[in-house]
Structure 1
Amino acid sequence: MVSKTADVVVITGASSGIGRATAHEFAERGVRLVLAARDPEGLDAVVAECTERGCNAVAKITDVSDETQVQALVDRAVAQFGRIDVWVGAASVYAFGSVEQLPREVFRQLVETNFFGQVYGVRAVLPHMRRVGSGTIILIGSVYSKTTAPYVSAYVASKFATFGFAQSLMHELRRTGISLCMVLPATIDTPIHQHAANATGQVVKPIPPIASPLRVARAIVRLSNRPQPVTVVGSVQGSLIWLQQLAPGTYSRVITAMWHWLGLRGGSVPMSPGTVFEPDPASNQLTGGWRSPLARAGFALGAVAAVALAVGRRRRA
């Protein structure tokens, strides 16, 4: 058990990536889990994995962009276990494409999931936490909650909005006994890139360095015991937050070069909505397979080349 006050944990986005890893970490500590995602097959698999680790876990199919479904998730958790001690908002979708390229409906649905899904969760769970005067809400943002990049404007906008929402809510929760935490992961080895909508016309790959989802999951478990307002997971990319603030011109050159050298890999790829509207059960896994030794070596060489290119352009300017 994590702690007496972290006995009932609800996790959205639990069928893959960070959400799945977090479910495993909590399960090993004997908590009671309510796991939510859109994919019933993936949820059943995670429930089985958590049960094998010795915890009581139940599933609730939930699309967090639907406020009615989020409220039903909270009602199920309270009916099943009597309370909610920790809420982990890990559901998220991704999309690549310039502002002109990305279809309007994809942009809107991404924001509905990544931002409004977090708002719906908070609004549904807060009355129960206020009733008992305790609880911890952990929202998963991104380093893109504090930085920017080309070709991911919809995702960045959703994560900035979530960060601002959380910061405002923290003021409202002072002296209530309820803690609100934001986790800002860097690039994590999850299937989110395989799941992403893609309107670039090119093959898209993650920007290194790429961290394990277990690092994020363990940070989330720690926060359930010792809440902190903001936790960044991934120190290298986390440092880009300060670079953008202190030297925005240099940051723009570096991040643009990294995307052109590492993120967009050429090819001819048709427009795909990815999992923005519907889940893909076949690809719902713990990791995305981006941390193999060969992949990591290639990413590292590409990152060095991108930074060198950006610095060289600055010197010639």
Structure 2
Amino acid sequence: MKRDVVVVTGASAGVGRATARLFASRGAKVALLARGRAGLEGAAQEVRAAGGEPLVLATDVADPEQVEDAARRTEEVFGAVDVWVNNAFTSAFGRFLDLPPEEYRRATSATYLGCVNGTRAALRRMVPRDHGTVVQVGSALAYRGIPLQSAYCGAKHAIQGFTESVRCELLHDHSAVRITMVQLPAVNTPQFGWLRTHMPRHAQPVPPIYQPEVAARAVVRAADRPGRREYWVGGSTVATLLANAVVPGLLDRYLARTGFDSQQTEEPAPRGPGNLTAPADSARDVGTHGSFDDRAHAHSAQLWASRHEQAALTAAGTAAGLVGLGWMLRHKGASWAR
């Protein structure tokens, strides 16, 4: 088993933490980047328990110098980086006109520029060696904007365009370095409990909801086989992207009618800055999962199909997406948020 050197940003909770743990189960050396010290230490314990070797690096990915320092430190301790996973993000939830400019700036800096900073630090090391893979953790919202998440949608759209541009440059140079993107459905992460909100009720993902481990399996799969431009996770992601390609105007009106209530529970929203300006897991480790375990799926049939190369299984995954598209347009809808 090759002991890959892997960097995971946003590794203190959610998808990043589940991804770090899965790489560790294969014996990887995993650099854990995030702001929350307690979350990072909890993630490090899980990496050790899974059979990997952790390196905790408290890092604000919005700061390019901190990201560069983390990359340099990783290679000093572990050696050359094989895989870099850009997963870190933060956001503000609410109507666009209710979001102050400083919140928009912070969400964009962490989510979009954090990805840019991580990609730059990775490629500076990978390109001269002509080896390595960068995996961008995206969302169905990289293609389909929805109400109340304009900051997050804008950042994910930007990552999508940025990644395509960088991919073209690598291809032009005949580089062996690969860059790919994983588009996720709704995932049960702690973000819904700690994001900055301007809405009266608690934020929630819209079913179907998946556990972070489902997303982690897709990220590791993408790292293993980066020749594919993108990986779509979950039938709801397929349905959303197909609907946006075929009937975007209809989807606009559908989301205008349903997107507000479907993204809020009946409980009052928590008040406070969320994790925009400071990490929410500095003093207390919140773990990998959010508060929707009773509604989250541990497996994705569509992801299982995408892991097999037979044409029949690929067709089955597409058919599942089309069925999901029909269901979405007739009933409550597909998932709109990671």
Normalised TM-score (structure 1):
0.88
> 2 CA distance for matches of 1:265 and 1:252?
22
CA separation of 1:194/1:268 partners in 2, compared to 1, >3 Å: closer, same or farther? closer
Q: Is the 8 A contact 1:12 1:19 kept in 2?
A: yes
Shift of 1:86: 0.2
In structure 2, stretches of 5+ residues that fail to align are 298-326, 334-338
Q: Which residue of 1 aligns with 2:301?
A: none
The alignment partner of 2:187 has SS state of coil
Between the aligned partners of 1:261 and 1:100, the Cα distance in structure 2 is: 18
SS in 2 for 1:60: strand
Check conservation: 2:12, 2:39, Cα contact below 8 A: yes
TM superposition shift of 1:288: 0.5
Matched, 1:215 2:217: no
Indicate conservation of the 8 Å contact 2:239/2:328, yes or no.
Answer: no
Note the C-alpha offset of 1:53: 1.4
Distance in 2, Cα, partners of 1:93 & 1:44: 20
Structure 1 residues 305, 170: closer, same or farther in 2, change over 3 A? closer
Q: Which 4+ residue blocks in structure 1 deviate beyond 6 angstroms?
A: none
Residue of structure 1 in register with 2:276 after alignment: 276
Residue in structure 2 matched with residue 290 of structure 1 by the alignment: 292
Between the aligned residues of both structures, percent identity stands at: 32
Asked if the contact 1:8/1:33 (under 8 Å) is kept, the reply is: yes
What TM-score do you get using the length of structure 2 for normalisation?
0.83
Match for residue 180 of structure 2? 181
- The one-character-per-residue Cα deviations of 1:63-86 (angstroms, maximum 9, x if unpaired) are 001111101110011111221000
Structure 2 counterpart SS, 1:280: coil
Work out whether residues 62 and 73 of structure 1, in 8 Å CA contact, stay in contact via their aligned partners in 2. Answer: yes
Cross-structure match for 1:261: 261
Q: Is the 1:209–1:237 Cα contact (8 Å) retained in structure 2?
A: no
Separation in 1, partners of 2:330, 2:261? 10
The residue number in structure 2 matching 1:301 is none
30 and 267 in structure 1: CA distance in 2 versus 1, 3 angstrom threshold:
closer
Aligned pairs (5 A) from 1:1-317: 1=1, 4=2, 7-174=4-171, 175-227=174-226, 228-265=228-265, 269=269, 272-281=272-281, 282=284, 284-293=286-295, 307-308=330-331
Supply the distance in 1 between the matched residues of 2:124 and 2:244 (Cα, whole angstroms).
Answer: 38
Q: Is the 8 A contact 2:203 2:269 kept in 1?
A: no
Aligned partners of 2:258, 2:17: CA distance in 1, in Å? 29
After superposition, the Cα gap between the structure-2 partners of 1:78 and 1:262, relative to the gap in structure 1 and judged at 3 Å, is: same
Structure 1 gap ranges (5+): 297-303, 311-317
CA distance in 2, matches of 1:92, 1:258: 25
Shift of 1:308: 4.4
Q: Which amino acid is 2:53 matched to?
A: N
* 3-state DSSP of counterpart to 2:127: helix
Asked whether the 8 Å contact 1:207–1:258 carries over to 2, the reply is no
Total equivalences in the alignment: 299
The answer to whether the Cα contact below 8 Å between 1:60 and 1:73 also exists between their aligned partners in 2 is yes
For the residue of structure 2 that corresponds to 1:173, the secondary structure is helix
